[in-house]
Amino acid sequence: MNTPAHLIFGAAAFAKPDRPFVTAAAIAGGLLPDLSLYLLVGWAMLVQGIDARTIFGDLYFSPAWQGIFAVDNSIPLWGAGLALALWLRAPVLLAFAGSGLLHLVFDFALHHDDARRHFWPLSDWVFQSPVSYWDGSHYGNIVGPLEIAACLVLCVALWRRFRSLAARGLIVAAAVAEAAPGLMFAMMFAGQ
């Protein structure tokens, strides 16, 4: 799934209008498994001047990058965080770890060639799902629009749940960030 989708799903599952720290933790948990990718790509492009083709064709799959992704995409580590949150009865940690695990469940199910080692440090096994959220040769042309539709429905639910102008502004921004790229590509390649 796209990162905005992870944020939307995490917020829909765990955010609470009357609990700003819980809401912030839900958003942070939805973001953290992808954060290293953004930092690595940003450093490679902006500081090192490496082109996108090399980044996503070579560096993404390098042992160094995959080693970093194994840590922040580890279901056992996030699961331990969730177990700790439940044991401590800590709502902020529960929202954080729950949203992070939700992110990983969707990534596990929707990544094919770009799948990660979700069971590190217990295993280096990589599950290559037969379904991809973006790759048309693995049903991305079906899953992508379904992802956008589900996110827009969840944004409506979040809009109804959250009444503040700031929260609603963030909901609209998340909806646009999720839907705009897919709609632009659909319009650009319509009729081809």
3-state secondary structure 83-121: HHHHHHCCHHHHHHHHHHHHHHHHHHHHCCCCCCCCCCC
Q: What is the DSSP letter of 133?
A: S
Average pLDDT of the chain, as a whole number: 94
Q: What 3-state DSSP class applies to 9?
A: helix
pLDDT at 181: 77
Of 64, 73, 61, 83, the closest CA to residue 119 belongs to 73
On whether the CB atoms of residues 128 and 115 are closer than 8 A, the answer is yes
Ranges under pLDDT 50 in the chain: none
Within 13 Å, how many C-alpha atoms sit on residue 25's CB side? Answer: 19
- Alpha carbon 145 to its chain centroid, in Å, reads 16
Q: What pTM does this model have?
A: 0.92
106-150 pLDDT tens trace: 999 999 999 999 999 999 999 999 999 988 899 989 999 999 999
